[in-house]
């Protein structure tokens, strides 16, 4: 394991390293299958800010210095391969809430529980280490696999964000989901 920070059953979370930028992480934002359900929509484009090396490097430096964002590489323990990213963004320290974002960029790892496990680990980190009260997220209402994973991690639906995402000439609803600290500890039996 390469600098693990949080260790799970089949994966571990570690900080993003500059070397990660030159790996597959650079390809994920340009893969229409990977980006299909993202807010930005499917992105098969070469001139986009999402695939620019300079922009990726700038984002890395910004995240490294940020006091409001914590982003981890999701790494498969068996192969030591980085398979995705999970992060807590826009930490609000007064009401103690944060937005969760996740992507499993390596398609060979889709549907195998990596998203659920990474979500559970980062939620535990948010409540146990950062002492936050709420973790929330937005998800395309059609992304059934992700919704199932979030529910499995203890998230509940708060509401619908109508026509929140645009893809292929059409608008799509998104769900707002969250988990509260007390719900998390009740479910965990603490």
User: Is residue 43 within 8 Å of 50, Cβ to Cβ?
Assistant: yes
Q: Of 150, 166, 171, 172, which residue is the catalytic one?
A: 150
Is 172 designated active site?
A: no
Which residue is it, tokens 């990213």?
Answer: 85
The 3-state DSSP class for residue 136 equals strand
Which residue is it, tokens 């600098």?
Answer: 3
Compute and round to an integer the Cα radius of gyration of the chain. 16
User: Is residue 153 within 8 Å of 120, Cβ to Cβ?
Assistant: yes
**Helix residue spans in 66-178 (DSSP H):** 114-128, 144-152
CA distance 152 to 42: 26
So which residues are the catalytic ones?
150
């Amino acid at each position: 394991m390469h600098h693990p920070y949080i260790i799970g059953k089949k994966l571990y979370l570690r900080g993003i390293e500059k070397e990660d930028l030159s790996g597959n992480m650079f390809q994920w934002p340009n893969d229409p299958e990977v980006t299909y359900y993202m807010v930005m929509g499917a992105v098969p484009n070469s001139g986009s800010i999402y695939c620019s090396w300079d922009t990726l490097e700038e984002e890395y430096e910004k995240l490294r210095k940020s006091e409001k964002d914590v982003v981890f590489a999701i790494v498969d323990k068996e192969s030591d391969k980085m398979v995705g990213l999970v992060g807590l963004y826009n930490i609000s320290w007064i009401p103690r809430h944060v937005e969760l974002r996740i992507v499993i960029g390596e398609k060979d790892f889709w549907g195998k529980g990596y998203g659920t496990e990474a979500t559970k680990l980062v939620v535990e980190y948010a409540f146990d280490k950062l002492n936050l009260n709420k973790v929330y997220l937005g998800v395309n209402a059609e992304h059934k696999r992700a919704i199932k994973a979030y529910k499995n991690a203890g998230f509940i639906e708060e509401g619908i964000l109508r026509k929140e995402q645009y893809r292929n000439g059409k608008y799509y609803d998104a769900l707002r989901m969250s988990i509260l600290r007390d719900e998390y500890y009740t479910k965990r039996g603490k």
